[in-house]
Amino acid sequence: MSLEDMVFLPVVLPLLGAALALCAKVFLTGRASRILEYTGVFIGLGLPWLFFVYITPMMYAGQAVSGVIGAWHTGVGIMYRFDGLAYLVNILGFSVAAAAWVYALGAGPKGPSFSSVFLIQTASLAAAIMTADLFNLFVCLEVLGIASYVLIASSDKPGAALASFSYLMVSATAMVFFLLGLYGLYRLTGVLSYEGIASALNQLPDAGGPVALVSLSLIVAAVAMRVAVMPLYGWLPDAHALAPHAISAVLSGVLIKTPLFALSRVLMLMPAGASAGQLMGYAGAVTALAAVVIALSQKDAKRLLAYHSISQIGYIVSAWGAAIQVGTTTGAGVVLMAAAFMHAFYHALFKGLLFLSIGTTVDRAGERNVYVLRGAGRILRAHGERFPVTLICFLIGALSISAIPPLNGYASKAAISYALKGTPHYYLLFAASIGTVASFIKLSRIFWPTPKGSAAVLDDVPAAIPWPIHLSQIFLGLLCVIGGLAAPALFAFVLRLISAGGADVAISLKFYSSGTMIKTLIITASGVLLFLGAITPKGSALLKRVRERRRDFEGLFVSFALGTAALAGWLLL
């Protein structure tokens, strides 16, 4: 098997697994069906790791595999490119997907049809990040979308179908606008591959003029909607809060980041990509701060986490946008892009962990309101958890997202603030970190012990927590700790992969210096103060107004139109 064929394994193996799982549902029952389904999942989520291990040295040496699918000639066939970025995003996707699938084994949804859709989603993630053809990107994003609508609606909560429907409508509409943007670029250039479009545009007078800019902004806005950058975030809180916990972990951890990194390939080549990246960077920094304020006001535990996903994706987008702006061929751009990926990866780990551990807790407690639920530790103990695994996992996740050393969130936020030092983004992100600390103090109140006797009374001996739940939580928790401790080495690895093994980028980043420690102390102390301010009557009245602001279906489309118009205006002026 040649290397050109092997790079398709992360796409083909999950699809094969999905087919096996579907066969297990249709043709077999009982034990045989389960065996075939698990085989399919192992093929889909396990075997690609062999390929990743095998290809690591080549990626480290800066090699990239690219070509045309099916050996068609370049004008007609679909171009692909498997490079360091694709490798890294695949690692991110497959590690969280494996943990989430194991969790679903214990907490549901389970069964061959779930596994099958889940594997299709994983395959489309891998395909989206390695394609270099604009229409193929459209197809990958649509398959990704369809799989995630199904998975969100697989929850039996009444709101889940509505959340899925709203997401479907706004996302499918955005994808039609993506097609219109694609039409504009095809009309100008007559090709579909990223490189072909970029070089044809560069030869046109004025790089294609307004038509090219409007087309590009339609494409960027449609992808930005999947990424949930403000103002295009409206669909996310409901969808992520109401999906089954395992799906929430994958949605937040992987699904909102893959389109972003796939988009970076387009923007890095386009003539107007740099200024589009610049605007995205500003939008990201504002998103980080605005979403954390809304998160602080939430009362539903999972909705609070969902708003934090928007806020953290804001961190990633601001570093990512700045990287596109200066170009990833420069040293500064490489550091920014590596910092953005580090935070994307670590956020996937700790947010996955938070969704899983909070999911376990609220399921056992039967209560999701953070103002009502107290003494969750005791409830978990009543469910046979002698050693408080879930509590510890929650703490690891919460401390990570609040950037407390030596956990991974601290390391990646240190990398982002190092890379963004001296820009306006830096101050917005600094303020957002304070809000993050405050809202996680608020969330961790669900574990505050209650006076004896007033805890929820459990009338019968409840079922023990199944082992897959613990296994997946421990797996992600360990990765969070290791990710934090090994951050310097990992950051150097990511830098090398992003710069395609090129000249070593000089960085003077010390992860554990006294300066960053003092900064952490300041942020944590301000976070505590902000939390104390938020629970005063005035503070809670203000937050209540933020929480109960008007949100409706039409607002999703209005914000999409406004976002697209803003981007087009920015590029044209």
Which residues contact other proteins by CB under 8 A? 76, 135, 138-139, 142-143, 145-146, 149-150, 153, 157-159, 161-162, 164-165, 168-169, 172-173, 176, 179-180, 183, 186-187, 192, 552-554, 557
> To the nearest whole angstrom, how small is the minimum distance from the Cβ of residue 123 to other proteins?
16
- Per DSSP, 28 falls in state -
Are the C-beta atoms of residues 338 and 264 closer than 8 Å to each other?
Answer: no
- For other proteins, give the closer residue by CB, 196 or 409: 196
- Residue 68: strand pairing partners: 79
- Taking the C-alpha atoms of residue 80 and residue 87, their distance in angstroms, rounded to an integer, is 13
- Shortest Cβ distance from residue 297 to other proteins (Å)? 17
Which residues have CB under 8 Å from 186's CB, separation 6+? Answer: 192
Q: Please give the helix or strand (H or E) that residue 232 lies within, else none.
A: none
Number of other residues whose CB lies within 10 A of the CB of residue 532: 12
Shortest Å distance, C-beta 179 to other proteins: 4
The nearer residue to other proteins, 369 or 536, going by C-beta atoms, is 369
- Report the residue number, 447 or 560, with the smaller CB distance to other proteins: 560
Q: How far apart are CA 135 and CA 139, in angstroms?
A: 6
Give 179 or 500: the residue with its C-beta nearer to other proteins: 179
Q: CB of 551: closest distance to other proteins in angstroms?
A: 9
Comparing CB distances to other proteins, the nearer of 262 and 348 is 262
Dihedral sign, Cα of residue 448, residue 451, residue 456, residue 459: positive
| β-pair partners for 81 | 66
Q: What is the dihedral of CA 235, 236, 241, 245, to 10 degrees?
A: 130
DSSP 304-358: HHHHHHHHHHHHHHHHHHHHHHH-TTSHHHHHHHHHHHHHHHHHHHHHHHHHHHH
Q: Which is nearer to other proteins, 259 or 284 (CB)?
A: 259
Using the Cα atoms of residue 180, residue 183, residue 188 and residue 192 in order, give the sign of their dihedral: positive
> DSSP letters of 191-213?
--BHHHHHHHHHHSGGGGHHHHH
Between 154 and 252, CB nearer to other proteins: 154
Min. distance of Cβ 161 from other proteins in angstroms? 5
| Least distance CB 138 / other proteins (angstroms) | 8
DSSP tally for the chain: helices H, then strands E: 25, 2
The encoded tokens of residue 174 equal 């955005």
Cα separation, 414 vs 378, whole angstroms = 35
**Nearest distance in Å: CB 173, other proteins:** 6
Judged by beta carbon, residue 98 or residue 568, the one nearer other proteins is: 568
CA gap 120, 357 in Å, rounded: 25
> For other proteins, which is the closer residue by CB, 32 or 176?
176
Name the minimum Å distance from CB 10 to other proteins.
22
User: CA triplet 163, 170, 128: central angle to 5 degrees?
Assistant: 100
Nearest approach, Cβ of 166 to other proteins (angstroms)? 9
Whole-number minimum distance, CB 176 to other proteins, in Å?
5
Closest CB to other proteins among 124 and 328? 124
Please, what's the b/e burial string for 203-238 (b: 16 or more CB within 10 A of its CB; e: otherwise)? eeeebbeeebbbbbbbbbbbbbbbbbbbbbbbbbbb
For other proteins, the closer of residues 226 and 347 by Cβ is: 226
Shortest Å distance, C-beta 320 to other proteins: 27
